[in-house]
Structures are given as C-alpha cells and as structure tokens.
Amino acid sequence: MRSSVEEAPDHCAIEFAMEMLGGRWKLAILKQLVSGTHRFGELRRALPGITQRMLTRQLRELEADGLVTRTVYREVPPRVDYTLTEVGHSLDSITELLDTWGRWYRETVRGEALPGPRPPA
Amino acid sequence: MRSSVEEAPDHCAIEFAMEMLGGRWKLAILKQLVSGTHRFGELRRALPGITQRMLTRQLRELEADGLVTRTVYREVPPRVDYTLTEVGHSLDSITELLDTWGRWYRETVRGEALPGPRPPA
DNA sequence: CAGTATCCGGAAAGATACTG
DNA sequence: CAGTATCTTTCCGGATACTG
C-alpha cells in the first residue's frame, strides 16, 4: 500500500498540462504538425469543422506557449506556415498515443468503424 | 513524403479522444486511479479544487464510457469506490506521459519549480 | 459519507461578414 | 490566402444548500 492518493507532489501536473493542451483542437493541430511544416490553409482543410477564427486563436496560443513557430512570408498571395518547435515535438509520442488510442476505442470498445452505412442488425 | 495533411482517415481520432477525455478533471482522475481502487473522499482530497458536483459528474461520465467501475457498499456510513476497468487501464501510459510532460514543461520550459518562494533574481 | 438539486457567470466555440 | 471584427450560443465548471 505504498501509494496513498495524497502523495501527489503539488497537485498532479496533468491538470496543468490539460489547461494548456485541453480544448477540442490543440492536440489535433499538434498532431498535424508532427509530420512537418504546414500552411494555414492546409491545417484548415485537415481539420474539418474548425473555423478560421478558432484555428487562428489556437495557433496563436500554441505559439505563445512555445510549441509552434509561425513564419510569415510577405508575398503576393500571403503565406504563413507553422512548424513545431523542439518543445512542441516533445509531445509527439503523446499525440501519437492519443490518436492510436482514440481509433482503437472507437473501433473496438464502441462499434463505430467509420461513419457511414451500419452493418445489418 | 507520403503524408500530405489530408490523409487523415476520417478526421483524426484525437478529436474524438479529447471530446471524451478533455476538460479539466478526467485525466487527473484516471491518473489517481492507476494505482488502484479509491473511495470518493480519497479522490476528492487528492484533487484540490474539485467540487463534489464536478467529481461526481466526471466519475459518472467515466463510468458511462466504460473506463471506471463504481461499486456501492450499502453500509452505515455509505461507501463507494472506484476502480479502473481494463479499458481504463489502457490509458495508463498516456496519463503517465502527460503527467511527466506537464511537470517537465512547468519546471524546464517555464521556470516554475514549485509554488512558493522565488529564487533570487 | 457520498451524494442531489438549483442557480449562475464566464469562457469556449460557432456563424457571419469584412480586409490587407 | 490568411486572417480580423462582431455577435450569439453553448455549456463547462463553480457556489451553495439539502439528503439517504
């Protein structure tokens, strides 16, 4: 019985992490950026349902937290792209695990393989 | 360069996972339960700042999602305890990683070792 | 002890329109 | 293309009081 619950150092760093990464989009955005640099529009298309406003806000918060780098190219059609910083990449394994877990849970625990035709009853 | 962003199967299972595990308390609760069964009051004390209402609600949602088991003992002082299911335990590595990451980020990236006296400037 | 039952404020998130 | 600017809605999370 080594671990009574109250041994938590301050109060579990997960709360801290979730205040930073919680919300609907943050981790999904980071996941997209694991594979490399992407433009605003690419991210937008990769995240069906997100609005321009949300994507902008989330990206700015991620930038403020030092997780992504924002690069503006002053060209004729404006171009901005986003890249994970080293700190941002420190979350790669977590986003990977969460993604895998989410897929596993959805397909195995619940029975929802893919949105679409249901298997006959 | 196999992975352009738009290869996402449906739309990234992370979104799904975060809808289920997001919010301020879910993962912190799961983390507490990794070490084994705990009573309602224990969890309450282990999560400073959480209200009875919140703890109850979050636990019920976790139960509904098949992540925790709720056991009621009909005794004179009522007693209820909570245990991770196998599915719940499938998140152990993720909560562990997130906790470690949160601690690392807070102490290394930002300079906040522990709430308390600041080191001299 | 382990909850319910209400009430409530503010942040999160969405819709829509406009711009450098 | 990559944003801003508003407006509106949703609902998460908290405070408080009561109960089997």
Report the predicted TM-score, pTM, of the whole model to 2 decimal places.
0.85
State the best of A1, A5, A26, A91 to mutate against chain B, taking most chain B CBs within 10 Å.
Answer: A5
Work out how many CB contacts closer than 8 A connect A with B. 154
Distance from residue A30's CA to nucleotide C13's C1', rounded to whole Å: 19
Please identify which residue in the block is written with the tokens 């529009």.
Answer: A41
| Tens digits of residue pLDDT in A63-105 | 999 999 999 999 989 999 999 999 999 999 999 999 999 999 9
Distance CA B108, CA B4 (A): 33
Distance CA A84, CA A34 (A): 7
Distance CA B46, CA B63 (A): 19
Q: What is the full DSSP assignment across chain A?
A: ----GGG-SSS-HHHHHHHHH-SSSHHHHHHHHHTS-EEHHHHHHHSTT--HHHHHHHHHHHHHTTSEEEEEE--SS-EEEEEE-HHHHTTHHHHHHHHHHHHHIIIIIS--SSSSPPPP-
Q: For each of chain B's 121 residues, which pLDDT tens digit applies?
A: 332 222 334 568 999 999 999 888 999 999 999 999 999 999 999 998 899 999 999 999 999 999 999 999 988 889 999 999 999 999 999 999 999 999 999 999 887 655 444 433 3
The answer to whether B55 and B25 are in contact (CB under 8 A) is: yes
Distance CA A106, CA B78 (A): 35
Between chains, do B13 and A103 touch, taking CB under 8 Å as contact?
yes
